[in-house]
Amino acid sequence: MGLSALAPLWSSPGLLLVIALHPALSVPTHRDYCVLGAGPAGLQMAYFLQRAGRDYAVFERTQRPGSFFTRYPRHRKLISINKRYTGNANSEFNLRHDWNSLLSHDPRLLFRHYSRAYFPDAHDMVRYLGDFTDTLGLRVLYNTTITHVTLDKDQRAWNGHYFILTDQKGQVHQCSVLLVATGLSVPNQVDFPGSEYVEGYESVSVDPEDFVGQNVLILGRGNSAFETADNILGVTNFIHMLSRSRVRLSWATHYVGDLRAINNGLLDTYQLKSLDGLLESDLTDLAILKDSKGKFHVTLKFFLEEAGTNQSTDSITLPQDDNDNFAMRVPYDRVIRCLGWNFDFSIFNKSLRLNSGNAFGKKYPLIRASYESKGSRGLFVLGTASHSVDYRKSAGGFIHGFRYTARAVHRLLEHRHHGIAWPATELPITQLTSSIVRRVNEASGLYQMFGVLADVVLLKENATAFEYLEEFPLQMVAQLEMLTGRKAQHGLFVIIMEYGRNFSGPDKDVFFDNRSVGQTEDAWQSNFLHPVIYYYRHLPTEQEVRFRPAHWPLPRPTAIHHIVEDFLTDWTAPIGHILPLRRFLENCLDTDLRSFYAESCFLFALTRQKLPPFCQQGYLRMQGLVSTESLRQHRVESWLPRNHAATDSRLEDSSQQPGDHEPLDAPMAPGPLAQSLDSNKEEL
Amino acid sequence: MRLLDLCRTMEFQLPSALLFNEVKYITNLEDLQNIENALKGKANIVFSYVRAIGIPEHRAVMEAAFVYGTTYQFVLTTEIALLESIGSEDVENARLYFFHCKLVLDLTQQCRSTLMEQPLTTLNIHLFIKIMKAPLLTEVADDPQQVSTVHLQLGLPLVFIVSQQATYEADRRTAEWVAWRLLGKAGVLLLLRDSLEVNIPQHANVVFKRAEKGVPMEFLVLHDVDLIISHVENNIHVEEIQEDEDDDVEGPDIDTQDDEVAETVYRDRKRKLPLELTVELTEETFNATVMASDNIVLFYVDWQAVSMAFLQSYIDVAIKLKGTSTMLLTRINCADWPDVCTKQNVTEFPFVKMYKKGKNPVSYTGMLGTEDLLKFIQLNRISYPVNITSIQEAEEYLSGELYKDLISYSSMSVLGLFSPNMTTAKEDFSEAGNYLKGYVITGIYSEEDVSLLSNKYAATLPALLLARHTEGKIESIPLASTHAQDVVQIITDALLETFPEITVENLPSYFRLQKPLLILFSDGSINPQYKNAILTLVKQKYLDSFTPCWLNLKNTPVGRGILQAYFDPLPPLPLLVLVNLHSGGQVFAFPSDQAIIEENLVLWLKKLEVGLENPITILPAQEWKPPLPAYDFLSMMDAATSQHDTEKVPKCMKETDVQENDKEQYEDKSAVRKEPIETLRIKHWNRSNWFKEAEKSFKCDKEL
């Protein structure tokens, strides 16, 4: 398809002109993977593509990576934590508390080497991203602004079409897969009468001197609004903050995008009646008037419409005219808009169908839980712009979340286009409990992307072995076989992390008494982030996922297990954590997952026709576990095994086992314990 | 019916919708009366009060409802007031009533109810309903000694009201009256004396029969119904036993460790191991250490019981090797350094690898114990196969002189004999020798004068010479195929003895042969006569289809446990048994009154062959099922939801746009807000141990 044929679709004649000036450059260069934007998400994706040896390029508008951070946040303090010490050596675990590093194999490329500050400076992020790119040799084309993206249908293309990217020089790039990591770059503006008087977060002065003795009105209630307020809190007469809905504190919602405690200085002064204040109102009903002295008055759009157009500003009705204690009756010196950001849809041709059309669709492009565009196959959205998947829920809009989703997208692509199945470890069933315990204790992807990414255990036939898959997008579980190239014919476990179902919310008291659960039998009522394991006999269908019960991240499972929340997030307690998990797994698989010493296996081998999996997979393969003298001693002391070397009285006791008398009707129950407990009562 | 299985099935196959329909949740007396009225003449009701949703009693009721919900109407309340209004004085505990509404035909009449007196547990409810299901009164004309009803099977006594033709009508009314009074406590029967063949004492009008076996029946003369009742009530002590059992099924021992490795490691946690005898590696030191010297590395995770049990053996190896080995014993905790372990391709724990300079790392695949690992380390001091270069050296090698200090770790030395030009055969043998390194000593000889050796030991090249050091014998095996795999197989087979002492360590290698084991159990060393008798039979090919072996109870005390499973009572040792482990599990015992001599053995084997011998026992073929049930959180979650929206069908969520979710979070507030209070209540009820109690006393002023 020629470029001229596309031209009429374009809305901007200016762009058309640009293309027309460079007809000679229109021979496209092909790449399998094109990444838009050399920010954290684009670089993270580039890293995985590079490691896999794929044909890719990153297109970057400016001359260095991470240009967003050269200007934002305006007050230069990142609110993503840079926890350099955890007391734990485990590098995977430490990523749970490192919100700035990208994933790589190189331990030098950890953010803690770039800043000592707990809330680091944005310049350090710029430096870090630059180093990340250079050290790993990522292929970034700088100073390349993609001005237009469209589709070119082609049978031979991986996805039935190529993505055609045109840069500012008219150079055309043909891509099999397009990975959009352009972030949210367009300031969100609300249109109301007088909005022209409003200064934007992106351009307002950050020098407190410019605000001395002023009355300031800030629109918005997010971190940027509070960050702006904090900066000038000490010099203004007062700050009023106006937003559509109540403030959401991240420690109550457990969502890092809500207001963080580090920015909440204004809440303090509001509640202590130190002149600053918070108000709720829908911004679209507002109007701002500028009076003859250059001061701003807040009124309602309604009054403005009533008054008509030819009235002078001073004679328009103000709310306080009717209602003389109206909160915002004072005139303001400045009005600042801090309303967040939207995705830049302007470069994408309509045929890509990135825009959903509704109001929320103005902020984020429309994508599936696999991060693939709903409108165009082969187009994936990464990074902040992909946050629609877990907006106000998890961390997918932030570095510490999307570094994992980028990896998940990469794994999906490796399977789709290169036949490489989702990485998995196959292990004998005796390792199942340990594998799960290990992951829930160290995995950072599960922890950061709670409720979004899940580990999946795929059982093999007869449940003698399993495959362990890490960090699969939860909502895509119905399509797991197709997306991963793995088989889930014999049941599966899905392991995720969850907060308590009713614990989080802007109005929740998260410090109530008894908020923490300590008893294993109450584990399902755990409030703080804790591991939850879902068992399914069959892979859930798409229908089941879509029509799952309200507030459930997954469809109703065959069985569910909660590992009780832990103050230290250390889920390795033998009785409190591991034992209940084993019982759950045993009952799902209908087998005995206990471990046994070689001596017990020996006894079982000669007194039973079947052996427990641990003996089958260990002892019988000449890999039995031999106990040491000291352990043998404990074994004798505990009630667990029968003491075979013991005195005669002991022998007599055991000889009364029913199994000895009626071997056919009353076979011994498995295991020494079960034998002692169950032998009589099992038969009703 | 196996109750445990029942519980398990219920817990994991329970469709929740079913539960909601089956159990009606009510809050006042009127509701109860409405249900009663609706069911009169139609069905019986199981009505229960539990203090809160989600507690064990509630679960027990829900589980029972799952089984019996189609037969009876289950009704549940958590309102104390309701319980009081039906006349219960005890409102402290959960209660369960059985309303006999099916019998009521007159709508103005109330349904009779029976209170379950045992605590609310799955088992008790199950038993209770079974009893309620049984006929109220049974007429019998048989010997009371022979009569058995469901009551007796469930451990309840039987009360026979003796009747005669003349007073039949009156006796029947009395019996019915008694039956109602004793419902749930005993079974009541009407015994027709006239048609009875057995004699019962003349004046006795009541026969009392206990559930316990062997207790004689009591013939009583009781002229008052109350006396009958009190006699029965004073003589029931079955309940206590049942309560104990219930505890086993229901509560605490789900939380009791039943994994012997986990339990012993836990009990041993405070003992300090001399860990300093091994070098702890980190991500930083791993590569340098592994490159610098020969290393054994133990990969473990410190929270895993099996790892920690094996760490003890590992330290024991270090103690034994202290100062004598060039091999460095190191360990790395993969819970701290996951990247190192992943890079070394270690995904299961514990795992041992040997790193030798300039060679590929070797995974240890032997028993996780001191002895085998020590053997592996010692044998790996030299590399295999050993290249033997002279006849004299070969003889020293075969006699065990050459590696005197190693032959205690390998009872056999293998020497491959090849002509110098058999290049591929030699390569294959080297591969096999390398594969077996650490488990058996192998050597290779392929000098020009190899024929001297092959002639001496009557071997055709290529061949293996096997020197069994304990027996001082050298045998030769021709190598028909020289593939490394086949050579490995030949050597491993050759390592098996004809009449071994079976031990915990070596059973797996004999077990693999899939033949019935002929085991002679001996208290101490084996009597040489027996040994000779068996070896003679082996030579005469009588035992080709078996694996003959003996077991020394002094070395392998666990053998006593095996004998107990085979014999009752245990005859004197020695005992010879044939265990058909792989097909059928029959155990046959050689008659202990016969002498273990060839003739008797041959005769016995022949009888076995033609099926004239009966097994003394058959080993259970039971599968290894979960030892105990797990917490059924799904039901608890269901119960909690059903409590505050009993009528509401579970809401379904479409894959909504995020915006809708956003909105929903606000709209849902009111509905959702209640829950913490409710769930909290459950938690309060549930606390049982001292810790929670203590916590409570700290916070009592803040209780909800």
Please spell the DSSP secondary structure of A417-485, one letter per residue: HH--PPPEEEEEGGGHHHHHHHHHHH-HHHHHTTTTEEEEEEEPGGGSEEEEEEEEEGGGGGGHHHHHS
The stretches of A110-150 forming alpha helices (DSSP H) are 122-136
Question: Contacts of residue B495 in chain A, CB cutoff 8 Å?
Answer: none
Whether residue B404 is predicted with pLDDT greater than 50 in this model: the reply is yes
Question: Would you place residue B114 in the very low, low, confident or very high pLDDT band (cuts 50, 70, 90)?
Answer: confident
Residue B691 has pLDDT above 80, yes or no: no
Chain A closest-CA separation from residue B64 CA (Å) = 15
CA A520/CA B147 separation, integer angstroms: 47
Q: Which has more pLDDT, A122 or B41?
A: A122
Assign domain B273-377 to a CATH class.
alpha beta
* pLDDT tens column, A548-604: 988 899 999 999 999 999 999 999 999 999 999 999 999 999 999 999 999 999 999
| pLDDT per position as a tens digit, B336-346 | 999 999 999 99
* Amino acid at site B390: S
Beta-carbon separation of B348 and A428 below 8 A: yes
- Whether the bond into A193 is cis, omega within 30 of 0: no
Confidence of residue A149 (pLDDT cuts 50, 70, 90): very high
CATH code for the part of the protein at A29-184+343-410: 3.50.50.60
Which of A361, A519, A635 shows the shortest C-beta gap to B260?
A: A635
Look up the CATH superfamily of B135-234. Answer: Glutaredoxin (3.40.30.10)
Q: Which two tokens stand for residue A34?
A: 């094109």
Top-confidence residue, A279 or A674 = A279
d(CA A669, CA A683): 11
Q: Are A93 and A442 in contact (CB under 8 A)?
A: yes
Structure tokens at A222: 């997010």
**Which residue in B has a C-alpha nearest to residue A534's C-alpha?**
B634
Residues of chain A with CATH 3.50.50.60: 29-184+343-410, 195-339
> DSSP state, B111?
P
| B627, B633, B680 ranked by CB distance to A514: nearest | B680
* Cα dihedral sign, A467-A470-A472-A477: positive
What chain B residue is nearest to A503 in terms of C-alpha separation? Answer: B676
Most A CBs within 10 Å: which of B6, B568, B631, as the mutation test of the A interface?
A: B631
Greatest C-alpha distance within chain A: 112
Of B301, B633, B673, the CB nearest to A438: B301
Output the CA angle A573-A578-A583, nearest 5 degrees: 150
Q: Which of B4, B257, B558 sits opposite A644 (nearest CB)?
A: B558
| Residue range B252-271: mean pLDDT, rounded | 87
- Which pTM does this prediction carry? 0.75
- How crowded is residue B221: how many other Cβ atoms within 10 Å of its Cβ? 12
CATH of domain B382-495: 3.40.30.10
Point out the residue among A518, A560, A660 whose CB comes nearest to the CB of B565. Answer: A660
* Tokens of residue A396, six digits: 């997918």
The mean of the pLDDT values for chain A is 86
**C-alpha angle with apex B7: B5 to B10, nearest 5 degrees?**
105
Q: Could you tell me the fold of the domain covering A195-339?
A: FAD/NAD(P)-binding domain (3.50.50)
Give me the CATH code for the B506-618 domain, please: 3.40.30.10
Nearest residue on chain A to B367, alpha-carbon basis: A623
Give the whole-angstrom CA distance, residue B372 versus residue B374: 5
**Cβ–Cβ of A640/B258 closer than 8 Å?**
yes
Counting residues of chain B whose pLDDT is more than 90, the rounded percentage is 28
B contacts of A103 (beta carbons < 8 Å): none
What pLDDT band is residue B105 in, cutting at 50, 70 and 90?
A: confident
Does B312 sit within 8 Å of A631, measured CB to CB?
A: yes
A312 pLDDT band, cuts 50/70/90, is low
Q: State the pLDDT confidence band at A606, using cuts at 50, 70 and 90.
A: very high
**pLDDT value of position A346:** 92
> What's the start-to-end Cα distance of chain B, in Å?
43
Q: Which of A66-75, B75-84, B473-482 has the highest mean pLDDT?
A: A66-75
> What pLDDT shows up at residue B422?
87
Q: What is the pLDDT of residues B464-496, one digit of tens each?
A: 999 988 888 898 888 877 788 989 999 998 889
User: B690 — phi, psi (to 5°)?
Assistant: -65, -30
**Digit-coded pLDDT (tens) for A225-252:** 999 999 999 999 999 999 888 888 888 8
**pLDDT band at residue A95 using 50, 70 and 90 as cut-offs:** very high
Cβ-contact B322, B277 below 8 angstroms:
yes
Q: Cβ of B585 and A572 within 8 Å?
A: no
Note every long-range contact of A514-517, with CB atoms under 8 Å and residues 24 or more positions apart, other chains counting. A514/B680, A514/B683, A514/B684, A514/B699, A516/A565, A516/A567, A517/A564, A517/A565, A517/B683
Interstrand relation of A492-498 and A530-536 (parallel, antiparallel or unpaired):
antiparallel
Using a CB-CB cut-off of 8 Å, the residues of chain A touching B630 are 559, 561, 580, 583-584, 586-587
In sequence order, which residues have a C-beta less than 8 Å from that of residue A22 and are 6 or more positions away?
A: A169, A170, A171
Query: What residues of chain A lie within 8 A of the CB of B651, using their CB?
Result: 549-550
Could you tell me which residue, B223 or B666, shows the higher pLDDT?
B223
Environment class of A669 (CB within 10 Å of its CB; exposed 0-12, middle 13-18, buried 19+): buried
The reported pLDDT for the residue numbered B249 is 41
Nearest to B659 among A360, A609, A635 (CB): A360
Whether the pLDDT of residue B248 is over 70: the answer is: no
DSSP assignment string, B405-437:
TTTTT-SEEEEEE--TT-HHHHHHHHHHHHHTT
Q: How confident is the model at residue B323 (pLDDT cuts 50, 70, 90)?
A: confident
Whole-angstrom distance, CA of residue B619 vs CA of residue B627: 19
* R_g of chain A, CA atoms, integer Å: 31
Q: What are phi and psi of A644, to 5 degrees?
A: -75, -20
**Cα-based distances in Å from A424 to A458, A535, B84:** 10, 18, 60
CB contact under 8 Å between A628 and B699, yes or no, is no
Interface A-B, measured as beta-carbon pairs within 8 A, has a size of: 388
CB contact under 8 Å between B268 and A592, yes or no, is no
Alpha-carbon span A444 to B200, nearest angstrom: 79
Q: What is the ipTM of this complex?
A: 0.85
Give residue limits of the domains in chain B: 6-132, 135-234, 273-377, 382-495, 506-618
Using a CB-CB distance cutoff of 8 angstroms, which residues of chain A are in contact with residue B686? Answer: 519, 521-522
Work out the minimum CA distance from A326 to partner chain B, whole angstroms: 26
Taking residues A665-679, what's their average pLDDT?
A: 35
Nearest Cα residue in chain B from A593: B626
Q: Say whether B604 sits in a helix, a strand or coil.
A: helix
DSSP assignment string, B339-400: HHHHHTT--SSSEEEEE-TTS--EE--S-BSHHHHHHHHHHTTS-SSEEE-SHHHHHHHHHT
Do B6-132 and B273-377 have matching folds?
Answer: yes
**8 Å CB contact of A684 and B4:** no
- Contacts of residue A56, defined as CB under 8 A and 6 or more positions apart, other chains included, come to A31, A32, A33, A34, A35, A46, A49, A50, A139
Range among A474-488, B43-57, B373-387 rated most confident: A474-488
Nearest CB neighbour to B257, from listed A92, A575, A661: A575
**Domain range B6-132, CATH class:** alpha beta
- Kindly determine whether residue A549 and residue B652, on different chains, have CB atoms separated by under 8 Å: yes
Give the percent of chain A with pLDDT over 70.
88
Residues from chain A contacting residue B567 (CB–CB below 8 Å): 660
CA distance B667 to chain A (A): 12
Contacts of A621 in chain B (CB under 8 A): 508
pLDDT, residue B67, reads 75
